[in-house]
Amino acid sequence: MVDFRPFRPFIPRLGNGEGMIERVSPPYDVISAEELARLRSNRFNVTNITLGGVDGDYTAAGEALRSWIEEGALAQDRREAFYTYKQTYCEGEHCWQRTGIIGLLAARGYAEGVVPHEETFPKVKEDRLNLLRGTETHCESIFGIFDHLSPKLKDRIEDLETKVLEFTDPQGVRHCLFRVCDQETVAGITEELRGKTVLIADGHHRFETASRYAQENAGDESKGFVLTTLVPSNDPGLLVFPTHRLVRELPMPPQDFLARLRDFFDLEEVASPRELAGALEGRGPSDLGLAVGGKAYVAHPRELPQDPMWELDSYVCQEWVLRGGMWKEEPKVVYEHDTTRALGLLDQGYQLLVLLRPPSLDKIWELAGQDRRMPKKSTYFWPKMWSGFVYYRMA
């Protein structure tokens, strides 16, 4: 049973001449060093909290957050509500809007209607746990998906929502936050979600960390929830991109590496790495795009095990390219969702690029329903949910 509740968030209160864009940020794990320096130059930017730890200690970040509240830079809404979060974005002549509902999701692990779809990194979870311990605040929302929202409730939400704030990020995505505080509608959202299954789309580390934090504070109900944005699977703006893999150094000369790959794949040479994406169009879901030693290939698996995991190119890549007995130790992988940037890294000395394609939502749900986890960074849901305009304070 999913427990999804309304809450009273803290929301930025802007000073004279200040814009909301100065307070917010992309998720902590996609910010470059240069972008972080720019964001943190504003004292009240959320990255000063989410990435404000010193050797894993977030005590000072917690003190900074308390000072923001005392000075009025953050103010708590007066009544409990759910919030709708609309992100509008365009590519060429096509525009989409994705709408999520922001509330509090009970953090009880993957046992009560909440399922994962990807593996996680232990080190990241330890850092996020220290953040919660030091600040007693969820500054970033995790991202979950559920099957659908009833048309009647959807229409009612749209009729009653009132705008709270908006901003446009540097990539041209427009972010709008709306409040829904009508008691009947709020109760309807909680009741409808109760019978759903929520799939974690983005934020596995934070959900697992929040669940551990809840166990540490079992006597405090307020610490048993995590800030969450839930989007129905049939939302027309729900897009999934792949995350490509790059490795700087091969474990052997390129020709030897390719010879080993031919134990698993038929390799079809492509004119250049720039043509890999086009060469993959219409190919089977397990085929990979490879750039090795300056040459490019479509890799078609010769014979796959009878297991739905092998229908994922990210799993094939993990087992037969990045493992497969060719590496003395697991290679250091760079993940890049943007195809153009991934190709550009080949000019910066990377010897291996594996170009992947996005899995379908149906496949993600299928594997999650079988309690199977896709490899780390198998999906990239776009656009990212930004942080710093809604805080859940547990103190």
Condensed to tens digits (0 to 9), the pLDDT of residues 218-242 reads 999 999 999 999 999 999 999 898 9
Please give the structure tokens belonging to residue 282. Answer: 């219409």
Q: How far apart are CA 131 and CA 127, in angstroms?
A: 6
pLDDT at 325 over 90: no
pLDDT at 256: 95
Task: Please give the angle made by the CA atoms of 80, 85 and 88, to the nearest 5 degrees.
Answer: 165
Identify the burial level of 213 via C-beta atoms within 10 angstroms of its C-beta, where 0-12 means exposed, 13-18 middle and 19 or more buried. buried
Of residues 137 and 377, more confidently modeled: 137
pLDDT at 395 over 90: no
Query: What is the torsional sign of CA 367, 373, 376, 381?
Result: positive
What secondary structure letter does DSSP report for 359?
Answer: P
Q: Mean pLDDT for the chain?
A: 94
Q: How far apart are CA 122 and CA 128, in angstroms?
A: 10
pLDDT at 349: 92
pLDDT band for position 389 (50/70/90)? very high
Q: How far apart are CA 86 and CA 100, in angstroms?
A: 7
pLDDT at 45 over 90: yes
Task: Please give the angle made by the CA atoms of 247, 263 and 249, to the nearest 5 degrees.
Answer: 15
Helix axes 59-71, 122-135, angle to 10 degrees: 40
Query: What is the torsional sign of CA 379, 214, 194, 161?
Result: negative
Condensed to tens digits (0 to 9), the pLDDT of residues 80-114 reads 999 999 999 997 788 999 999 999 999 999 977 99
pLDDT at 258 over 90: yes
Of 139, 137, 134, 180, nearest to 156 by C-alpha is 180
Q: Return the minimum-mean-pLDDT range out of 17-21, 94-98, 261-265, 325-329.
A: 325-329
Is residue 12 within 8 Å of 389, Cβ to Cβ? yes
pLDDT at 300 over 80: yes
Percent of the chain with pLDDT over 90: 86
Whole-prediction pTM: 0.90
Instruction: Name the residue ranges covered by the structural domains of the chain.
Output: 4-240+381-393, 243-357
Q: How far apart are CA 93 and CA 266, in angstroms?
A: 38
pLDDT at 275 over 80: yes
pLDDT at 51: 96
pLDDT band for position 167 (50/70/90)? very high
Q: What DSSP assignment string belongs to 241-260?
A: E--EEEESS-SS-HHHHHHH
Q: Can you name the CATH fold of 243-357?
A: 3.30.1760
pLDDT at 387: 97
pLDDT at 154 over 80: yes
Q: From the centroid of its chain, how far is CA 82?
A: 21
Please give the structure tokens belonging to residue 120. Answer: 């996680």
- Distance between start and end Cα atoms, the chain: 26
Q: Which helix (H) or strand (E) holds 210?
A: helix 204-216
Characterize the bridge pairing of strands 137-138 and 74-76.
unpaired
For residues 165-177, give the mean pLDDT. Answer: 96
Condensed to tens digits (0 to 9), the pLDDT of residues 335-375 reads 999 999 999 999 999 999 999 999 999 999 999 889 898 99
Q: How far apart are CA 374 and CA 379, in angstroms?
A: 9
For residues 54-71, give the mean pLDDT. Answer: 97
pLDDT band for position 315 (50/70/90)? very high
Beta-bridge mates of residue 270 = 296
Condensed to tens digits (0 to 9), the pLDDT of residues 110-135 reads 977 999 988 877 888 999 999 999 99
For residues 58-83, give the mean pLDDT. Answer: 97
pLDDT at 46: 98
Q: Which residue has the tokens 């939400």?
A: 157
pLDDT at 67: 98
Per DSSP, the three-state class of 84 is strand
pLDDT at 343: 95
pLDDT at 1: 87
pLDDT at 119: 80
pLDDT at 117: 87
pLDDT band for position 386 (50/70/90)? very high
Number of DSSP helices (H) and strands (E) in the chain, helices first: 12, 21
pLDDT at 371: 87
Buried b vs exposed e over 373-391: b needs ≥16 C-beta within 10 Å?
bbbebbbbbbbbbbbbbbb
For residues 21-47, give the mean pLDDT. Answer: 94
pLDDT band for position 330 (50/70/90)? confident
pLDDT at 57 over 90: yes
